[in-house]
Amino acid sequence: MLTIGDLSRETGVKVPTIRYYEQMGLLSHAGRSEGNQRRYSREERDRLAFIRHARDLGLTIDAIRELIDLSQHPERPCHDADRIAAEQLATVRRKIARLRKLEAELERITSHCHSDQISDCYVIRALANHDLCADEHD
């Protein structure tokens, strides 16, 4: 059995986050020792590692909850898990496209700034006047 500190060290998940996952129902509430310390099993450590990896990939709490539920039924087809991963991939691709627009706009406004003084700084003018932007990027 692992203490919450051991669990934190082994998974890299902070103690308050472990408690949060318990509150959210992603982890079962830990059993307690005679000294009232939380105790976790290896299975709970593995689940926490699963949750952390899913969070690292940007999955939402609801998506993780659904994946945990799916993992409890190994005989079921995996199309729902595939759907969840595909939805996250689409979300990531939209974010990447938006970041590319932001990158292009920041590159454009920084390349236009050739002034030595703030009064003539193109970056300041562009940030103050959205009409100077090349594209919509918000």
The pLDDT of residue 35 is above 80: no
User: What is the spatial distance between Cα 26 and Cα 48, in angstroms, rounded to a whole number?
Assistant: 8
Pair type for strands 31-32 and 38-39 = antiparallel
The radius of gyration of the chain from alpha carbons, rounded to an integer in Å, stands at 23
CA angle 44, 12, 8 (to 5 degrees): 55
Residue 50: per-residue pLDDT: 97
Q: Model confidence over 123-137: pLDDT tens digits? A: 888 888 888 777 776
Instruction: Name the nearest CA neighbour of 100 among 110, 90, 111, 92.
Output: 92
- Average predicted confidence (pLDDT) for the chain: 90
Q: Model confidence over 77-111: pLDDT tens digits? A: 999 999 999 999 999 999 999 999 999 989 988 88
**pTM to 2 decimal places:** 0.78
Phi, psi at residue 40, to the nearest 5°?
A: -120, 145
